[in-house]
Amino acid sequence: MGARTNWPEYALERGAALIAGAVRWALPPRCPGCGEPVEADHRFCASCWGQLRFLDDSGCARCGIPLDGDALGERWCAPCLAKPPRHAGIHAAVAYGRIARELPIRLKHGGRIGVAETMAGPMARRLPPGADLLVPVPLHRWRLWRRGFNQSVLIGRSVARRTGVPIACTALRRVRATPLLRGLSPQQRRAAVTAAFDVREPDAVRGRRIVLIDDVYTTGATAGACVRALLAAGAASVAILCWARVIAGSDD
């Protein structure tokens, strides 16, 4: 004799499925790059997908800048050889360009927090091996109050869920408000973020291999200041994981 159907539960489940279908029909998933309807959440349309330049391990082992040739391995670019950076490597999902920059804009300035999940997928695949802890780049409390969220925390939590690496959202703190860095020279950017960060949870980072989470890496001024603070607090190493990084000659 077959199992008896629980009709109230069945009706509720069926009703929920119908509502979900109606929502998908009325509000279809949108391409995070251009907003065109696509077949599933966090998917790009063919045009936007074709304009993304995904990065891999064939670049400089320290800064991630693409290098000539196809060989993988510990190859360093000339600037990193001449002046080795203090960080343990920059790992970016894509090169900065017209479509790549749309996602952080939609997230930070459009309030499209679901875009953080879109960015986290390719970033999780670029997570350096041996990571002990994820630490998001913090916002100053006044900017956090105005925006309502820290995009690096949203991205970092999604990367943590995908990879199983724990995240410490409050380990690093921005102690001084800094101006918007857009339009400043590299020297002005570095000066603006000097002594802007400290570690409020040194026990959480001491001796750990840290991965700093950010959305876009441009001149490295902000990330560099965070790296210095974490190393000063006793971190064993600090690598940088971001959605996009600026590469000379890439599409603007």
- At 197 the three-state DSSP class reads strand
Measure Cα distances from 176 to 38, 51, 86, 138, 236 in Å: 42, 37, 22, 11, 25
Residue ranges in 27-100 assigned as alpha helix (H): 46-51, 78-82
Rounded to whole angstroms, how far apart are CA atoms 68 and 182?
30
Please say if the pLDDT value at position 209 is more than 80: yes
- Report pTM: 0.83
Count of H helices and E strands in the chain? 10, 6
Q: What is the pLDDT of residue 141?
A: 86
Angle, CA of 194, 171 and 186, to the nearest 5°:
25
3-state secondary structure of 215: strand
Tokens of 4: 């008896």
Share of the chain above pLDDT 70, in %: 81
- What is the rounded average pLDDT of the residues 128-133? 96
Convert the pLDDT of each residue in 66-122 to its tens digit.
Answer: 887 654 556 888 889 999 999 999 999 999 999 999 999 999 988 889 999 999 999
Contact status, residue 211 vs residue 240, Cβ threshold 8 Å: yes
Residue 95 amino acid letter: A
| Burial class of 122 by CB neighbour count within 10 A (0 to 12, 13 to 18, 19+) | middle
Q: What is the mean pLDDT of the chain?
A: 85
pLDDT of residue 24: 47
For the segment 3-59, what is each residue's pLDDT rounded down to a tens digit? Answer: 454 555 445 555 444 544 444 445 688 899 888 998 888 899 999 999 999 999 888
The CA distance from 199 to 136, in Å, is 12
Range ranked top by mean pLDDT from 190-194, 208-212, 218-222, 223-227: 208-212
